[in-house]
Structures are given as C-alpha cells and as structure tokens.
C-alpha cells in the first residue's frame, strides 16, 4: 500500500546520478519537495533537468542515488506503477504528448479515459479547465492547427484531467508567448491553492524563477544553489545600475574591465556590481567610465538572473567579444533602410495569416517583431527572405526587391529559422563549413569564421560531435553561428535563444549589439523573452496578422501608462488567495507576476487603500503595496489582452 502520511515529503532525491554511456548528465543531486509546494528547476537546456524529472515520474532508470515519491522508492518498473496514478507528467516540447489529428476535446477525452476519469466527473473538469485556459471556444479545432501557446495549454489540461497529486511539468512555457505563459501560471497557482496539488516545474526563463516557493539552479548536471527566491538572492548581494552612456561601445568596453556583468539594453547599459551601497556602486561605475558621462542613472536590487549569472561566472573567464571578424567589403554600401515591408499580405486558403503589414528597419538597427504564438511573425520573415511569396504587398531587403532578387537577397542576409535547419548527420564543424561553402566564403576565411563561431557560440569540444546528438540549446547556438558564417549585412533571427542559458543569451546580445553598432548590420528578431526585447531599438507588436502598435521600448511603456495608468504591485504571504479576493473586489485586471500581484490603476494612493481593504478580512498578510515601473511583459500582456477583449466583444455583438 502506498504511504499517504502527509508528514512524508512528496519527493525526496538523494545523491542522484544519471549517465548516458560515458556522458554524466546529472551528478550528486539532492532535493526535497513538500506537499502543496511549487518547486522549480532552473537552468539551460542540457543542464540535466529533464533526466531528473523523468526519473521522478518513473519513466527513466538512473545509475546512482535514490528517488522516493510518496514514500515509495522508485527503483523499478513495479515501484513506478504503484505511484503513477498519482502523477501527471508533461514532457518537454510543444504538444509532444498530444495527437495532431484529434480535436482539443477529443484529446482531452482520450487522456481522461486513459486515466480512468469517471464519466460523472469528466464534464465538470473539462469545462472548468477549458474555461481557465480560454480554450473553450476552440473545442473542435484539431491540435495540429493550434498555436504553440494553445498546444501547451491543451497539454496541461490533458496532464491534469485526472487531478494528480503531483504534477511534473518539463519546460511547459518554453517557446510560449507572454500571455499564454501568464495564463499557465495563473492556472497552476489556482490548482495548487484549491486542490492542494504539488508541482515540480522546470524552466529556462529566469524571470519565472521568482514564481516558485523554492527552487534549484542547475548547471552541467549539478545544483549550484537551492532555497527560496529570497535565500537565493542573498547568496550574491549587490546593486544593479542602469545608465545611458555615449559612445555606448566604448563605455561597454571600459566597464567590462572592472565588472563581470555588463550588457546593453537598447541604448542603455545594465551593470551588476557586488557593491551593496547604491551610491557607492554608482561612484565605482562613474570612475570606470572615466571621461564618458553617465546619464539617466537608476539603481535596483539584483534579479534572480543576475544572481544565476554571478554564480555561473565565479572563477570562469569572461568571454571576449571585442574582436569580430569583418567581411572584406566592410560596412554595407547601402545606408538608410535595410528592410522595408509595405502592405504585406499572405493568405493560406481562406485564412489570412498576415494582413497589411508595413514597417521599416534602418541599417544598423535592432528591430524586434513581437506577438503571441500564431500572430504571423514567422510568415512575415519568410516572405521577406523570399521563402514564401506574398499574396499581395511589397518588400525590399538589403537594397533588393524581395519578389525579384531572391539570389541577391540570400547572399546579403543571414537567417536562423524557428524550426531547426541544420544537417543532423553532419558534425558541428562540417555544418559550419557547409554553410560557409553555400554562401561562397573562401577556405581561408571559412577557417577564421569556424574558429570565431566555436568561440562565440560556446561550441569548444563539440566540433566533432554529430549535430543530431547535441542538446537543443547547443544546436541553437550552432544555428546562430551558421547564420553569421558569411558576415551578413541583414540578419533575421526567429526566436534564436529559446532554451539557451542566461550567459549564452547575454553573449549573443553582446555579439548582436557589436554587429549592429560597429558594422552597421540590421537585425530583425522575434523573441518571447520580454527582457530581450529591451535590447531592441524599435519594436512592432503583431496581433492576428496585423501590426497593432510600435515604437521604442520606452515609447511603448509610456503609451500604455497613458492608456492604463500606473502599475501597482502587491506583495502578500498568500499571493494566489490574495489574487482571488482582489478580483472579486473589482480589480479585474489583476494578475500574478511571479509571486507578486500586478494591476493598473489611475489613482495609486486610493487604489492601494482599496486593495488593502479588500484583503483585510481574507487572512492574507500584506507585506507591501507599491508603484512599479512597467516592464515590456506588462506592455505586451496589456495590449494583447485588450485586443482579445475587443475581439470577444465584437464576436458577442455579431451573435446578438
């Protein structure tokens, strides 16, 4: 009989080890997960998270240590069978546990029967979960026609339909847009609050780390640190300083001599210093800048990403990106516009994927194309690259008409697609040399580019490995390197850093910043990391195939502040319960942001008092209610949810 003693931890792992032939994937991991807890595994692809989670779920054998779930030692198939009915497991990958030809409702019904859910309970559970995920209007849509975010929410429903006591969710939000990500976390928080469920969740998104009760940072198969978010932050005290300094590239180089964490955020610089006194931290940075003046200086406490990066770089050399090989032709000869889209339309049968899209990207500019899964971003990129012909409209890339000069365009651009585009049966070095040959790079220059790509993308030691056997994050870095092999004048990157660790992402952006600022390369990028969108000079937000708003990150934040007001943040000891009470009290736009609650308001003083009154009788302890500056995630979610609300109202009006 399975032990149901609530005092026994739901999961207990000690000395866990997993090998794949000679490769040690996980070594010496210890962790304990308590009942009702949301526990996070944070780390890049290839860190060992999936191996550990599969072993806990009872679907992967391991080589050392012990794994106990619900008091049962999971060391055989028979032991795993004793606890599998109490577990829900969502594997990594968008929709990999679903059936493409079945509709949303048919997938749910299939998993319900597989899990022996009583018919009397199925209808109520299905209706509730469909409403929570906002998929109730799409019951009859085949899974293969869903966006990435919708697939992941359907996968979550199928994982939770039998109401498991332990949910094991492997990177459920990777490749998912911010609105769907926020939906996912709201659903999970509500289920933990109402059902007492326990959850083990892995993620590569560092901004999600604050959402967990406790977490472990994992890198190269080992745990770097474990504890509550506050305990993790205390491991690396310091100050984050954001400033404007010109010329930016020179300021960046000077600060990197003294500080291990310096990155560009569009026109701004983001610096982590271990100096805890904020005034002293600013003085040190000003001293490092010398005769370059610091403007618009702001200070803040380090985020969990700053802490994770600090733990990773301790004792490790900082990669040098100051020397980027340039093509013999130097800077692009055509100054001004590098990309122009004018009234682009693309229809697939009766479905209009892209509708009258127009924008411009200047030479040397980093341009971000944002939007929910299925908004049409990838289709726009494929049209501009000459891969897809437009139904209507015009476009120019690197001085060439996209309709007529396909060969010329391909010589001048680099393209990293969302779908993996490398040759899996070739080694890393062979892929790089192949792409160099395709783009006409000479042998001597190809040798130089190979060395640089290996250094830039962190591929040292992988040169002779078959690409098909690489972890996903390593493949992504190789794909980026192949897109850069011929030193293109225009670079298209479709979600290039999905699954890549924070140091790798920062390194990519360091490279991209230098390419744009020093060599005048125009970069068009799509990303679901809203922290990455801060790097862009200009942004365009797409919704349902249309560009609905645009501007610099600062301009878009100011626009939302004018429309919606100030952002209030509530910190409470029971955020899930606090959110329910605030929504009942009329704060309909309130949403979880990590373990905190955010909502817009016109009068911060009045609305802070109203929020406190709404929680006064709820037995929730309020720690603080403060105004916060908007993030780009707040902007994205506000804009998309407002458009969704308009669409629902229009649909309801049509039915009436």
Per-residue pLDDT tens digits for 608-647: 999 998 898 888 888 889 898 888 888 888 888 888 888 7
The half-sphere exposure of 244 on its side-chain side, counting CA atoms within 13 A, is 4
Residue 384 has pLDDT above 70, yes or no: yes
Best mean pLDDT range from 62-66, 153-157, 405-409, 417-421 = 62-66
Residue 335 has pLDDT above 70, yes or no: no
Percentage of the chain beyond pLDDT 70 is 92
Q: How confident is the model at residue 316 (pLDDT cuts 50, 70, 90)?
A: low
CA 512/CA 509 separation, integer angstroms: 5
The half-sphere exposure of 607 on its side-chain side, counting CA atoms within 13 A, is 21
SS3 (DSSP) at 536: coil
SS3 (DSSP) at 427: strand
Residue 159 has pLDDT above 50, yes or no: yes
Q: Tens of pLDDT along 240-268?
A: 999 999 988 899 889 989 998 888 887 88
- Fold for domain 237-301? Alpha-Beta Plaits (3.30.70)
* pLDDT value for 72: 94
Please indicate whether residue 499 or residue 162 has the higher confidence score (pLDDT): 162
Q: How confident is the model at residue 527 (pLDDT cuts 50, 70, 90)?
A: confident
* pLDDT value for 179: 81
CA 363/CA 397 separation, integer angstroms: 10
b/e 188-213 (16+ beta carbons within 10 angstroms → b) = bbbbbbeeebbbbbbbbbbbbbbbbb
Q: How confident is the model at residue 326 (pLDDT cuts 50, 70, 90)?
A: very low
* pLDDT value for 528: 81
Class of the CATH domain delimited by 337-551: alpha beta
- Where are the CATH 3.40.50.300 domain residues in the chain? 11-232, 337-551
Q: Which CATH number fits domain 562-655: 2.60.120.1130, 1.10.287.3510, 3.30.70.250, 3.40.50.2300?
A: 3.30.70.250
- Phi, psi for 593 (deg, rounded to 5): -130, 90
Q: How confident is the model at residue 231 (pLDDT cuts 50, 70, 90)?
A: very high
Out of 7-21, 112-126, 139-153, 227-241, which region has the weakest mean confidence (pLDDT)?
A: 139-153
Q: Which CATH number fits domain 11-232: 3.40.190.10, 3.40.50.300, 3.40.50.920, 3.90.550.10?
A: 3.40.50.300
Pairing of strands 490-494, 351-362: unpaired
Residue 595 has pLDDT above 90, yes or no: no
Q: Tens of pLDDT along 494-506?
A: 888 776 777 777 8
Supply the DSSP symbol for 146.
Answer: S
Q: How confident is the model at residue 329 (pLDDT cuts 50, 70, 90)?
A: very low
Q: How confident is the model at residue 5 (pLDDT cuts 50, 70, 90)?
A: very low
* pLDDT value for 3: 43
Q: How confident is the model at residue 230 (pLDDT cuts 50, 70, 90)?
A: confident
CA 335/CA 328 separation, integer angstroms: 17
Residue 324 has pLDDT above 60, yes or no: no
* pLDDT value for 338: 93
Q: What is the mean pLDDT of the chain?
A: 86
* pLDDT value for 225: 92
* pLDDT value for 343: 96
The crossing angle, in degrees rounded to 10, of helices 472-483 and 502-519 is 10
* pLDDT value for 576: 76
- Where are the CATH 3.30.70.250 domain residues in the chain? 562-655
CA 648/CA 651 separation, integer angstroms: 5
* pLDDT value for 518: 82
Residue 300 has pLDDT above 90, yes or no: no
Q: Which two tokens stand for residue 490?
A: 């225009």
DSSP letter for each residue of 576-636: HHHHHHHHHTT-TT-EEETTEEEEEES-HHHHHHHHHHHHTTTTPPEEEEEEEPPPHHHHH
């Amino acid at each position: 009989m399975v032990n149901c003693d609530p005092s026994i931890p739901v999961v207990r792992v000690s000395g866990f080890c997993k090998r794949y032939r000679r490769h040690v994937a996980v070594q010496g991991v210890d962790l304990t997960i308590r009942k009702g807890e949301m526990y996070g595994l944070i780390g890049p692809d290839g860190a060992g998270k999936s191996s550990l989670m599969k072993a806990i779920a009872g679907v992967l054998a391991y080589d050392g240590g012990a794994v106990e779930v619900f008091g049962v030692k999971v060391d055989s198939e028979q032991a795993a069978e004793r606890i599998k009915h109490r577990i829900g497991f969502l594997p990594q990958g968008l929709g990999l546990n679903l059936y493409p030809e079945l509709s949303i409702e048919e997938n749910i019904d299939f998993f319900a029967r597989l899990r022996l859910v009583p018919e009397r309970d199925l209808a109520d559970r299905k209706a509730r979960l469909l409403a929570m995920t906002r998929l109730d209007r799409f019951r009859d849509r085949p899974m293969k026609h869903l966006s990435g975010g919708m697939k992941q929410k359907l996968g979550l429903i199928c994982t939770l339909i039998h109401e498991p006591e332990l949910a094991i969710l492997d990177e459920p939000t990777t490749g998912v847009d911010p609105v769907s990500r926020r939906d996912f976390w709201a659903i999970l928080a509500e289920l933990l609050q109402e059902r007492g469920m326990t959850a083990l969740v892995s993620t590569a998104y560092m901004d999600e780390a604050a959402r967990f009760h406790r977490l472990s940072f994992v890198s190269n198969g080992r745990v770097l640190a474990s504890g509550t978010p506050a305990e993790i932050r205390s491991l690396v005290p310091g100050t984050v300083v954001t400033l404007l300094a010109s010329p930016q590239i020179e300021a960046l180089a000077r600060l990197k001599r003294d500080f291990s964490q310096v990155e560009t955020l569009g026109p701004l610089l983001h610096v982590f210093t271990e100096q805890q006194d904020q005034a002293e931290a600013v003085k040190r940075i000003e001293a490092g800048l010398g005769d370059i003046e610091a403007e618009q200086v702001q200070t803040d406490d380090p985020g969990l990403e700053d802490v994770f990066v600090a733990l990773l770089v301790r004792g490790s050399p900082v990669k040098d990106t100051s020397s980027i090989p340039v093509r013999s032709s130097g800077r692009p000869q055509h100054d001004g516009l590098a990309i122009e889209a004018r009234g682009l339309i693309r229809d697939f049968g009766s479905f209009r994927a892209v509708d009258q899209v127009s924008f411009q990207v200047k030479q040397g500019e980093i341009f971000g194309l944002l939007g929910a899964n299925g908004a049409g971003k990838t289709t726009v990129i494929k049209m501009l690259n000459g891969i897809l012909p437009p139904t209507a409209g015009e476009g120019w890339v690197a001085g060439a008409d996209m309709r007529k000069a396909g060969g010329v365009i391909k010589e001048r651009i680099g393209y990293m697609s969302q779908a993996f585009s490398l040759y899996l049966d070739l080694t890393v070095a062979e892929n790089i040399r192949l792409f160099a040959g395709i783009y006409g790079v000479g042998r001597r220059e190809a040798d130089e580019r190979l060395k640089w790509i290996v250094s830039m993308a962190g591929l040292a030691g992988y040169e002779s490995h078959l690409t098909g056997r690489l972890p996903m994050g390593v493949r992504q870095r190789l794909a980026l390197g192949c897109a850069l092999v011929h030193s293109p004048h225009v670079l298209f990157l479709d979600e290039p850093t999905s699954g890549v660790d924070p140091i790798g992402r920062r390194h990519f952006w360091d490279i991209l910043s230098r390419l744009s600022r020093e060599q005048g390369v125009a970069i068009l990028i799509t990303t679901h990391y809203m922290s990455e969108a801060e790097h862009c000079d200009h942004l365009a937000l797409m919704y349902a195939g249309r560009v609905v708003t645009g501007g610099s990150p600062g301009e878009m934040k100011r626009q939302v502040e004018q429309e919606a007001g100030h952002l209030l943040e509530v910190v409470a000891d029971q955020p899930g319960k606090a959110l329910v009470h605030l929504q009942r009290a009329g704060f309909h736009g309130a949403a979880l942001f990590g373990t905190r609650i955010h909502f817009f308001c016109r009068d911060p003083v009045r609305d802070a008092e109203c929020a406190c009154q709404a929680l006064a009788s709820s037995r929730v302890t309020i720690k603080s209610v403060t105004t916060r500056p908007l993030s780009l995630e707040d902007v994205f979610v506000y804009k998309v949810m407002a458009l969704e609300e308009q669409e629902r109202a229009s649909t309801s009006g049509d039915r009436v």
